[in-house]
Structure 1
Amino acid sequence: MKLLILLSVLLFSSSALSLDYAVGKVKKIRLFSMTSEPYNTTTKGLAMVYIDELPGACATTEKRIAIDSSHPLFESFLALALVSKSTGTPVNIGYQSTCNLRGNAWDFGLIELLE
C-alpha cells in the first residue's frame, strides 16, 4: 500500500512538473510593473524575456517567457538572461505549457546558460 501511494505521488509530481524546452538566444528583455497604477513599491514586477527559438506562447506569435518578482529565481533568471543578451551566448530554457502570468507568454520553468 505504501509503495502504491509513493508511486502515485511520484507520477503526479513528475507530470505536474514537466517542462518543454528550447535552445536559443535572448533577443529582448522587458521589465515592468504588473499593474498600471502609479509607482508602488509593494506591486510585483514582471520580466519578459524574448528567445528566438521559442514557439509562440499559447497560440500567439510571442516567443517569450514570463516570470514575476516574487519567484525565488527571479534575480538569477534575470542575471542569466542579461549575460545571454550581452554576450550572444545561447540558453536552454525550460517553460511550462501554461500562460498564467500573461496570456501571451510562457510561464518560467528553468534557464541554463550554455557554452
Structure 2
Amino acid sequence: MKKFLILMCLIFCNLANAQTFQTAKITGFVPSHLQDKEVFIVKIEGNVSGGCNTTARFAIDSSQLHFKSVRAAIMTAFVSQTPIIVAYTETCNMFPNAWDIAYVCVGPINC
C-alpha cells in the first residue's frame, strides 16, 4: 500500500508540472524585472490565456539556468520571423500574469 501511495504521489506531481507546447511567430517581447530578477516576457500569435495568465503571454526569469539562451533564441526568432515552439507550464511563478516558459525550440528540430 505504501508503494502504491508513493507511486500515485509521483504521478500527480508530474501532472501538476506537465508541460504544454505552442508553436507560432513572436509578436513582441518585453525585457523587465520583478524584485531582484530580470524577467523576459513574450507574446506569440494566437497565444491563449487562462488561469493566472490573464495577458496571453509567457515569461522566464533570470533565476533559470537557461534564461540567457532562451532570451537570445526568442530575440533571434523575432527578428527573423521564425516560428518558435514554447514549452510552458500553466503556472505564473516567474511573472504574476504570464505562464512560465520551460524552454523554447527554434527551427526544424524535434522539441
TM bucket, shorter chain: 0.7 to 0.9
* AA of the residue aligned to 1:14: N
**2:89 matched to 1:96?**
yes
> What does residue 60 of structure 2 align with?
67
Q: Once superposed, which parts of structure 1, at least 4 consecutive aligned residues long, lie more than 4 Å away?
A: 1-6
TM-score (norm 1): 0.76
Q: Distance in 2 between matches of 1:51 and 1:29?
A: 9
Please tell me the root mean square deviation across aligned C-alpha atoms, in Å: 2.2
Map Cα deviations across residues 6-33 of structure 1 (whole Å, 9 max, x no partner): 7446524431331122111111121122
Using the TM superposition, give the Cα deviation of residue 99 of structure 1 relative to its aligned residue in structure 2, in angstroms. 1.6
Residue pair 2:39, 2:95 contacting (<8 A) in 1 also: no
Q: Distance in 1 between matches of 2:83 and 2:95?
A: 24
**2:43 matched to 1:47?**
no
Aligned length in residues: 107
Q: Distance in 1 between matches of 2:106 and 2:28?
A: 16
Q: Residue 91 and residue 59 in structure 1: after superposition, are their counterparts in 2 closer, same or farther (change >3 A)?
A: closer
Structure 1: 5+ residue stretches without partners: 36-42
Q: Distance in 2 between matches of 1:10 and 1:76?
A: 30
| Largest Rg, 1 or 2 | 1
